[in-house]
Amino acid sequence: MTAVADKIPVGTVLFRPGEPCRGFIVLRGGSLRVTLSAPNGREVVLYRVTPGDVCLQTFTCLVQNRKYSALGVVETELVADVLTPAEFHAALGEDPAFRQQVFAAVARRFADFERLVEDVALTGFEARLARVLLRLAGPDATVRATHEQLAVETGSGRAVVSRQLAGFAAAGYVVLQRGLVSVADQAALESIAGPCQDMATRVTY
């Protein structure tokens, strides 16, 4: 394993669609956002990578010798170690503890994908947006995101997000400011979000 001494700054693109995988990254700190873009330009967040899990994009590229099909961008400053593809395959074949850790993390990530499909395909937009607001709200109950960013999080359009946020604001559930959404009535949003509101957002590749 080769240690990465330098921290990877926010906004760094770690991989793009069509690029080969350069190694298996074990996160020690920070988070990575993985998104998928449609031909019409619309984006959706597939998952976030944080210490302790596996990035399915990277895992699939290494196991099947495929190129990336999604975009991975550093969301909060990363600290990580890197395994070259050769080191990754050797560890997977020779280290039972490493293999079990990787496979367990892959299984958790597939469960997250099932929830993502349910959330996007089978859940109304009102509930989907409520879940995203609850998930992204910081300790001060504030979501620091634009309507465009929330559209990416929910796999929808900006206009749809703006209309629904206006409805939440009129009902007293949120307070809207430029680039900020403050949760004013958490209980109401939790009721709208339903029982699946606590979707996992962790991952490590």
- What is the domain partition of the chain in residue ranges? 2-121, 125-193
Give every CB contact of residue 113 below 8 A, 6+ residues apart in sequence. 46, 47, 56
Query: In CATH, what number does 125-193 get?
Result: 1.10.10.10
- Range picked from 64-68, 78-82, 107-111, 191-195 for highest mean pLDDT: 64-68
For residue 199, what pLDDT is reported?
Answer: 40
**Cα dist. 178→60, 140, 143, 168, 175 in Å?**
39, 16, 11, 16, 10
Residue 87: its pLDDT value, please?
Answer: 93
Q: Please determine, looking at this structure, whether the domain spanning 2-121 carries the CATH number 2.60.120.10.
A: yes
pLDDT band at 137 (very low <50, low <70, confident <90, very high): very high
What is this structure's pTM? 0.61
Report how far apart, in Å, the C-alpha atoms of 202 and of each of 31, 89, 168, 173 are.
Answer: 8, 23, 27, 27
DSSP state of 114: H
Distances (CA, A) of 60 to 10, 87, 186, 198: 25, 16, 38, 26
Position 96 confidence tier, pLDDT thresholds 50, 70, 90 = very high
d(C-alpha 121, C-alpha 117), whole Å: 6
The pLDDT of 47-65, averaged and rounded, is 88
What confidence score (pLDDT) does residue 1 get?
A: 42
Q: What is the mean pLDDT of the chain?
A: 84
pLDDT at 4 over 50: no
Q: Are 144 and 138 in contact (CB under 8 A)?
A: yes
The pLDDT assigned to 183 comes to: 95
The stretch 51-63 carries a mean pLDDT of: 88
The values of phi and psi at residue 67, to 5°, are -95, 160
Q: Rounded distance, CA 141 to CA 138, Å?
A: 5
- What residue spans of 18-157 are helical by DSSP H? 56-64, 85-94, 96-122, 125-136, 147-154
| CB 32, CB 54: distance < 8 Å | no
Can you name the residues that pair with 83 across neighbouring β-strands? 24
